[in-house]
């Protein structure tokens, strides 16, 4: 029994196109534009989205992958004169890299969270970890590393 005989003709044709690479259109991820990022940073309330803003700033400034953002530790962030120097020791390519975050607007978000992070760092060391939590709970809202959706 030939498996091709059991398939409907339209499914068989689509499978052959995929097999040959013809007619296949990959699904594109939704990407935020620079304007959308700026609107988010300017208008989203800090009490609810401050950590998400830091994740967006670090992710865009450093072109970071999700797992790289999750691996950032307090000791990897250095406050320098011009801005922040962020080191990523464990990357997909196994080559440590670093990036800078510059601009007063972006540094203000970091300064707002640095006190919170310092307090959280003490709690994390007691728990045996020194990674930041990307999730936070505020007024029954659970923020996760997820796609930012309009409107916030």
CATH number at residue 62: 1.10.443.10
Strands 136-138 and 141-143: antiparallel
Count of the separate structural domains present in the chain: 1
- The mean pLDDT of 120-143, rounded to a whole number, is 51
Residue 15 lies in a domain: no
What's the residue count for the chain? 152
User: Which pLDDT tens digit goes with each residue over 24-72?
Assistant: 677 787 888 889 999 999 998 888 888 888 889 988 888 888 888 888 8
Q: Give the C-alpha separation, 30 to 114, whole Å.
A: 30
Q: How many beta carbons lie within 10 A of that of residue 99, not counting itself?
A: 17
What domain range includes position 71?
A: 34-143
Give the percent of the chain with pLDDT over 90: 11
Residue 58 lies in a domain: yes
Residue 90 lies in a domain: yes
Instruction: Please give the pLDDT value at position 125.
Output: 57
**Dihedral angle sign, alpha carbons of residues 11, 26, 91, 71:** negative
Residue 151 lies in a domain: no
Is 0.75 surpassed by the pTM of this model? no
């Amino acid at each position: 029994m030939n498996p091709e005989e059991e398939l409907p003709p339209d499914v068989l044709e689509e499978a052959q196109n995929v097999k040959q690479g013809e007619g296949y259109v990959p699904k594109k991820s939704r990407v935020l534009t620079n304007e959308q990022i700026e609107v988010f940073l300017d208008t989203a309330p800090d009490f609810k989205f401050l950590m998400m803003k830091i994740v967006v700033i670090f992710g865009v400034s450093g072109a970071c992958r999700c797992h790289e953002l999750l691996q950032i530790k307090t000791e990897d962030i250095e406050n320098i004169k011009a801005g922040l120097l962020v080191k990523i020791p464990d990357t997909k390519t196994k080559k440590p890299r670093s990036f800078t975050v510059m601009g007063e607007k972006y540094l203000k978000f970091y300064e707002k969270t640095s006190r919170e992070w310092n307090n959280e760092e003490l709690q994390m060391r007691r728990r045996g970890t020194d990674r930041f939590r990307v999730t936070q709970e505020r007024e029954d809202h659970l923020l996760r590393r997820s796609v930012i959706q309009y409107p916030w």
